[in-house]
Each structure stands twice: as C-alpha cells, then as structure tokens.
Amino acid sequence: MLVKKYAYLFLMLGFTSCHFLETEIDIGDYPVEPRIVVNAVIYAGCDSNLVFLNDSYSLFDRNASSQNRTYLKDAQSILSKNGVPNSEMYFRSEDNVLYFNEKFDAGDKAEIEVTDKGRKVSASVIIPEKPVILAVDTVHFSESTEYGSTTYGWYYSNYYYLSPKDRIRLLIKIKAQAGKKNYYRIHAFNELTIYYRELEPYTFYYQSFQSDDPILNKTIYEFDKSLDITSLEYNEANIFSDELFQNGEYILNLYTEDWSEIDKTYSPFYNIPQGDVLSRKYQLRINLQSISEDLYFYYSSLQRYQQLNETLIEPIRVHNNINGGLGIFGAVNELEYVVLEKEMKNP
C-alpha cells in the first residue's frame, strides 16, 4: 500500500510539474511566397468567357482572407485557340475578371499563359464533345408527406400535404462518346412562370433532384481508390463518369418535383385576386454537361475537402492543372433537354 501511495504522489507531482513548465511560443507569421491562381471554365458555344486571376495567400498570414485577395489586374495574359492567340482580352474591374471574346467548339484546344512580376503559369484543355441523350422516360407518382411546422417550397403553413403526382421519375438514356473516357455533370431544372393582367411575369426556379443511382453514388469514389480514405456520402456536384456504362450506354435514374399539376389558383402574391392570374407556363428540363477530366477531378477533390471537415485527417489536396501555379482550367459542353412543357390558362 505504501509503495502504491508514493507512486500515485509521484505521478501527480510529475503532471503538475509538466503543467508549470509548459510555455507558449509565438513563432509569428510563416512566410509563403504567393502563387498565381487561375480559375476558368470554357463553355463551348459561348461567345465570351471569363478568367479569374489572383494571388494565393498563406493560411499562416493572419491578415489575409478571401475578402481582401489580390487580383492581378496588370498581369499579361494570352489565351490561344488551336495555337492562335486571342487579342480581344481586357480586365473588367467592376467584378475583377479577365474577359475575352472567343467562341470555342468541341475539339478545340484552349491554352492560357499568364505572366506577372517575373512569374509565369500556363494551362491547356481540349473542349469535350456535346453529350448525347437518346431518350428520357418519365413516371409520375404520388408521395403525400407531412412536413410539420416548417416552410417548404412556396407554401407557408403548419402542415403541408403534397398534391397528387407530386414527383417525377426521370429515366435518362445517355450514350457515351466512343474511344475515350467520358466525364459528366447533370442538373434538373423546374421552371414555372406566372403571367398576370397588370404585373410583370414572375418566374420560379427549382434546381434539385434526388437519386439512388449507383453511378452518382459510386463514381465520386473513383478518385479515392488508391488513397484509402473515407468515402464521400454526398455527390453535391452531380458528377459522374462512364465507368458503369454497358456497351457505351446507361440509363440514369433521377427523381424531382412535379410542378405540372400545380394549383391553377396559386399566386406567390397573396394580395392579388385569382382573376388577375392569366396563365402559368411550366417547363422541366435537364442540363447534361460533358466536362473535361481535370474539371471532374477538381470537383471531386473540392467537395471531398468541403465535406470531410474532421480534425484528425490527412490534408486533402484539391486537384490543380495550372503549370507553375494553382487553380483549374476546365471546359464544358452542355446539352439542354426539355422533358416536359405545359401551359395552363385560367378559365
């Protein structure tokens, strides 16, 4: 007993002594040389595109933040299309972006070179082919749900029951480009425009969908195969590849809200008589994008960085394809596919 007692006192004194000997040392700011950051996504078919240029800042710099970043207004920038430089480029100071007039099509090669204060960075990307949707089948179904005391959609009430045919299942048949790896991003848009006798038209947008499709829940892990890290639970960027395509085709399964049967008396302005609502125009469309490989891995790593917000994890490196600098230089070719369109006139 005596030995145990002295041992306990020794340990307590040891911990106490360590506490008093603890010293906090301020090492000050850790100097890190800023690097040129280039962020741009080239959209096929657009007459103009934007490039964001700024200096990086160190996390060790206590005075630096994204709000006071340094934009490279005087940098020398050259954007080339298939090896031919573009001369119509200027810095737009009102929103701190480099603006250029140049239309890119599928197969074009876009290259950028930025020089500032003796530093030079560069990047290139091939504009992907436009994606192909062979067909879209729809299934309407009901799902009455009580949400309790909350605000949902357009209505404000203590209890809200969804109307019949309030969901649409979309079966989207996609055909991949042969002979290459294909990367995609998808969005679903519900759009409802209400027309009035005296007021300007009012338009609602709803950009969201749900999916349990394995291609949206599996492909996001592709970047993690050799890293052995925790997988993502959500694919908020809506990206996927053709990894699970069979014979170059795949039927993607999505669910979204059905606004085609919205109450004809509905108006977002409660003080407007029902007779002042002339009609409603509803459209459901899919925007399917072919995206460049680097952009796919950028989205993949970025959302992994944003979602795995744990203390004891390995640092996550966001994908970068800027030679000598930081950022992403990607490309998108988008297909807009109208699934449903309906005009509803009041009697």
2 in any annotated domain: no
Structure tokens at 263: 């109450």
pLDDT at 260: 74
96 in any annotated domain: yes
* pLDDT, averaged in runs of 10, over the chain (347 residues): 46 47 61 88 93 82 66 90 84 84 94 94 97 94 49 39 64 94 94 82 79 72 41 73 94 86 58 69 94 94 73 75 96 96 80
pLDDT at 107: 96
pLDDT at 151: 32
How many domains would you assign to the chain?
A: 2
> Is residue 262 within 8 Å of 93, Cβ to Cβ?
no
329 in any annotated domain: no
CA–CA dist 204, 177 (Å, integer) = 34
> Is residue 303 within 8 Å of 246, Cβ to Cβ?
no
pLDDT at 265: 54
CA–CA dist 39, 311 (Å, integer) = 28
CA–CA dist 123, 325 (Å, integer) = 9
CA–CA dist 128, 292 (Å, integer) = 6
16 in any annotated domain: no
Asked whether residue 49 falls in the same domain as residue 195, the answer is: no
Asked whether residue 104 falls in the same domain as residue 148, the answer is: no
Q: Which residue has the tokens 């100097």?
A: 31
Asked whether residue 163 falls in the same domain as residue 116, the answer is: no
Domain boundary among 82, 102, 126: 126
Asked whether residue 247 falls in the same domain as residue 305, the answer is: yes
Domain boundary among 90, 108, 126: 126
pLDDT at 225: 42
User: What counts of helices (H) and strands (E) characterise the chain?
Assistant: 3, 18
CA dist list (Å): 343 to 55, 188, 292: 50, 19, 37
Domain boundary among 126, 150, 182: 126
Number of neighbours of residue 17 by Cβ within 10 angstroms: 10
Which residue segment(s) compose the domain that 138 sits in?
132-315+335-345
Residues 6 or more apart whose Cβ sits within 8 Å of residue 276 = 196, 197, 198, 199, 267
157 in any annotated domain: yes
CA dist list (Å): 67 to 54, 57, 74, 136: 12, 11, 20, 44
pLDDT at 21: 55
Asked whether residue 92 falls in the same domain as residue 165, the answer is: no
> Is residue 34 within 8 Å of 56, Cβ to Cβ?
yes
CA–CA dist 126, 327 (Å, integer) = 17
Q: What is the CATH number of the domain that holds 75?
A: 2.60.40
